[in-house]
Structure 1
Amino acid sequence: MDAKVIVVGGGTSGMMAAISAAENGADVILVEKNKTLGRKLLVTGNGRCNVTNNRDKEEIIAHIPGNGRFLYSAFAQYDNYDIMDFFRSNGVALKEEDHGRMFPTTDKSRTILETLITIMDRLEIKVYTDAPVETVLYENGEVKGVQLKDGRTLTAPCVVLSVGGKAMPRTGSTGDGYKWAKKAGHTIKELYPTESPITSDEKFIQDRTLQGLSLRDINLSVLNKKGKKVISHQMDMIFTHFGISGPAVLRCSMFVHQTMKRDKTDSVSVSIDALPQFTAHDLTQQLQKLQKDDGGKAVKNALKGLVPERYLLFGLNRLNIDESTPMKQLTAQQLEDICLYLKDFRLEANGTLPIEKAFVTGGGVSTKEVNPKTMESKLTKGLYFSGEFLDYNGYTGGYNITGAFITGRIAGQHAALAALEQ
C-alpha cells in the first residue's frame, strides 16, 4: 500500500483535503496533473483570493443557490469561521471588505497558496505534480487506488476526488473526473456554466450601441415566460459586444439557463431597473416635478444625473423622444414611457458564454449519491468527493471557495478516519 489516502487534484479543495487527512493521522499522497499546485486559486478574487465570507451559515448557504442545502451537515462540522481561524493560526492576516468578503491583507492569492504548501510540507504529504491520472481503480464496490498516465499505480483504501469542474480549463479544470465517478456508478447532473456573462441577439447589442457602458447599483431580474421574477440582484453591470456582464449579471446567469430549460424556450427576458432606490410611483412624481420646475430645459439636460447620459440618450432614442424637446412639452404618456424605461428595460437573453468561459461549473456528481456528513460515495466504499466536482454551486464573493474548503476538510478528515479503521 502506497498511502492511506490519495487526493486527486491540487486545487483549493484538494489541498485542504490532503491537509485534513494528514492532520487526522493518515499517510497522504496528493496527485496533481499540472506542473504546479493551485492554478485556479491564484486567479480567484482577481488574483487577491477571496478566501471566505464573514456571514452566518444561513446567509452563506443562501448564497449557494445551486444545491447549497447539501452543505448543512458539512457546515455543522467546519464552517467559514473555522476557515478564518485556520489561516490566522498559520500566520495569515485577513481583512474584511464589502459584502463580507475576506482577503489576505497582502492582497495576494500567492499568500494563501504558499501557506497551504508550507502546511503540506510540515505534515510530510507526498505531492506528485505533472502526474495526470489515467483512471481510478475499483474492485468489488471498493476503491483501490489510482493509475497514472505514465503507468504507475498508487494504492490506498481511500481516494478523494477534488478535480474541479469544466470552468476555466486553462487552470486544469477539464472535466477529467466525471468519467471516474461514472465508472463508480455515479450520476453526473447536467453541466452548465454559472457565474458567466449573459448573451443576447438584440440588435442594439449586435450593433455594440452600448458596448462598454457601466451601470452602477442597478437591479437585474430574470423573468419566466409568465413575466414573473425568478431572481433579482442589485449590483453593478456592463454592456458588452455579446450581451451583458458584471456582478449582477454573473449572479443571474445560472437562472437564465434554468428558466430556459424549465420554460422550454430559446430565450428569456431580463429586466434592468436602473433606479431601484425609487418606486415607479416615486419616479413618476419626480419626473412630473422636474417638468414643473425645469420645464424649459431640454429633456436631456433635465434628466441628466438620473442615469449615465449614454443610457438616457439610448432610451430617449428608443422612445422616439427628441433629446432637445423641452421637458414641459412631454405628454403624460411620454413621461410614463421614460419611467418604464428607467425602471423596467427589457432585453432578450439567449443564454450565457460557454462553460469554458464561466467562473464556476453548475451540475456535477449527484449529491443524492454522496453522504453529506462525510462526502463519501454511497455507491463505492472509500471514494470521497469535494469541491466544484460535486453538484452544488455558489455566487462569487467567497461562497464557492468556502464550499471548496469545507467539503475538502470534511472529505479528508473522514477518509483518514475510515482508512485508519481498516
Structure 2
Amino acid sequence: MNKNYDVIVVGGGTSGMMASIAAAEQGSNVLLIDKNKKYGKKLLMTGGGRCNVTNNREVDDLIRHIPGNGRFLYSTFAQFNNFDVMAFFESHGVSLKEEDHGRMFPITNKSKTIVDTLINTAKELGVTLLPNTTVKSLLFDDTHITGVKTEFETFSAPCVVLTTGGKTYPSTGSTGDGYRFAKSVGHTIAPLYATESPLLSDEPFIQSKELQGISLRDCLLQVVNAQGKLVTEHKMDLLFTHFGLSGPAALRCSSFVNQLLETQSKVSVILDCFPEQTKETLIHTLSMKLNQSKKATKNELATFLPERLLVFFLNQLGVADTPANQLTELQISGIVDLWKAFPIQVNKTLPIEKSFVTGGGVNTKEIQPKTMESKKKNGLFFAGELVDVNGYTGGFNITAAFCTGHSAGVHAALEASYFQ
C-alpha cells in the first residue's frame, strides 16, 4: 500500500467524506482513514435513519440557527454553503425533498443513500479508503505537519485534515481522539458540554411520571438565569418524559442550560402552552366560556390541553372538579398563569455520550476561518464537530460539517500542491 499522499483525512464521517472528495476534486492524492469498518456510521443514524442532510434557509438565517460560534462560518459559507450541499447531491443523482422548518431529506428516506453517494464519489475520484484503522498520533516537525502514525504503520503527507467528531455516540467512533491530536500541536480545547440533549428534572411530577408521554405542539420554552433574566427561548414541540423534557424545544434549550449549570445547581425553564395568545386574551376567553357552564372545570376546558396536563394544572389550584361558573376571577387568572408561565426546575441534561451534538471543541480563534487551517501548525486542518461550533437539530450541524469539510479539503489540496 502507498505510504505517501498529498492529503490525509482522519475520520470518515460527514465532514471527513466531504473533505476527501473536495481534496480529490482538486487533483490531490487522498487517503481517508477511519477506525470503523464502515464509513459514515453516525450519519447513518441521523434524522431517524432518514438523514436530514441540510436546511434550505438563507445563509444569515442558517447562522442564526448555529448558536455555538455560528458567525465563524461566514467565510466557509461564502465558499460552499447549504445550497451547494443540495446541488452536490442532486448532481450525483440524489433527489431531495423539503419537510417542515426547511429540513431537507433524500426522497428515498434512507441515510444509506447519502452515505453511499459520498463513498462512491470518493472512490470514483481515486480516494484511497483505509477503514478499521486507528490513528495514534500526528507526525510533525517544528513548522509543518508531515503525516500520521496508525496502530500498524506510518503515512506521510504535507497536509492532514482532522474530522474525528466530538464525543457524542462513542459507539460510532467519536471518542475524542481529535482533541488529543489538536493538543499535541499546541491547540486549546473549549470546554465540552452536551447540546441538543433532553433535559433532566427532579420535579415531583416528573418523578411520579404523571405527565410522561404528553406532547405539546408549538409551545414556548424559555430558559432564565438565576436573576430571572431570559437567556433563550424556542417555540417548537415538547415532550414530557419519565426523566424530564424532550422534543425540539427542549433540545434547543439544552446548550444554554448546560452553560448556566457551570455556575448554578439548577436552571429554571418556563413553559408557555399558548405563546400565540396574551394572558389578557386567554383570561377573557376562559371567562366567557366558564361563566356560562355548570360543568366541572376540567370538562369545560377539555379542548384546551391534553387531559392529563389540564387536570394536573387545575389540581395545582384545586379547581379540577369545581363547577365552571363558580370560579372566581382570581382562580381563572391563576389557571392562565400556569398555562402561560409554568416553571420547571432542570438539574442537568443527558451526558455528552448520549446527546446529539458536542458543544465546545478546538478553539475557533486558533483556526483560519477561510481555510480551516490551524494557526498553530501549518498543514493541519479541522472540520466538523471537532471544532467549537454547534447548531440546533434540523440539518444545521450536518450542514456545518459538510461545508467546513469541503473548505478544509479544498485548501488542504491547494497547500499540498506546493509540495508536489
Q: Which residue is 2:277 aligned to? A: 278
Look up the equivalent residue of 2:286 and give its one-letter code. Answer: L
User: Structure 1 residue 212: deviation in Å?
Assistant: 1.4
Q: Secondary structure at the match of 1:39?
A: coil
SS of residue matched to 2:18: helix
SS of alignment partner, residue 272 of structure 1: strand
Looking at structure 2, the residues matched to 286 and 69 of structure 1 have their Cα atoms a distance apart, in angstroms, of: 43
Partner of 2:382: 385
1: CA distance, partners of 2:227 / 2:164 = 39
Letter of the structure 1 residue corresponding to residue 301 of structure 2: L
1:365-380 map, 5 Å:
365-380=362-377
Q: 1:25 aligns with which of 24, 27, 33?
A: 27
Give the alignment's TM-score, normalised by structure 2. 0.98
Q: Which residue of 2 aligns with 1:208?
A: 209
Give the equivalent residue in structure 2 for 1:134.
136
- CA separation in 2, counterparts of 1:293 and 1:14? 65
Give the equivalent residue in structure 2 for 1:79.
81
How far did residue 230 of structure 1 move? 1.0
Does structure 1 residue 404 correspond to structure 2 residue 397? no
Q: TM-score with structure 1 length normalisation?
A: 0.98
Q: Which residue of 2 aligns with 1:300?
A: 298
Tell me which amino acid in the other structure corresponds to 2:280. H
Partner Cα distance (2:296, 2:212) in 1: 26
2:27·2:413 contact (CA, 8 Å) conserved in 1? yes
CA apart distance, 1:141: 2.6
**Equivalent residue, structure 1, for 2:266:** 267
Q: What is the root-mean-square deviation of aligned Cα atoms in Å?
A: 0.9
Query: How many angstroms apart in 2 are the aligned matches of 1:54 and 1:217?
Result: 21
- Alignment partner, residue 312 of structure 2: 314
In 1: Cα distance, 2:84 partner to 2:229 partner: 39
Distance in 1 (alpha carbons) for counterparts of 2:207 and 2:100: 34
Cα separation, 2, equivalents of 1:115 and 1:44: 16
Distance (Å, rounded) in 2 between the aligned partners of 1:291 and 1:156 = 75
Gaps of 5+ in 1: none
* Alpha-carbon contact 2:5-2:156 (below 8 Å) kept: yes
Specify the SS of the correspondent of 1:237: strand
State the shift of 1:293 in Å: 2.7
Structure-2 separation of matches of 1:193 and 1:266? 16
> Structure 2 CA distance, aligned partners of 1:293 and 1:330?
11
2:287 corresponds in structure 1 to 288
Unaligned runs of 5+ in 2: none
Matched positions, count? 417
For residues 76 and 276 of structure 2, the distance between their equivalents in structure 1, rounded to whole angstroms, comes to 38
Cα deviation for residue 149 of structure 1 reads: 1.2
Distance 1:320 1:356 in 2: 42
Q: CA deviation at 1:292?
A: 2.4
* Aligned-residue offset at 1:269: 0.6
Aligned-partner residue type, residue 301 of structure 1: N
- 1:130-162, Cα deviation, whole Å (9 max, x unpaired): 001111112113111110012x00010000000
Matches within 5 A, 1:9-408: 9-150=11-152, 152-261=153-262, 264-294=263-293, 296-321=294-319, 323-408=320-405
Runs (4+) of structure 1 moved beyond 4 Å?
none
- Letter of the 1:10 partner, please give it: G
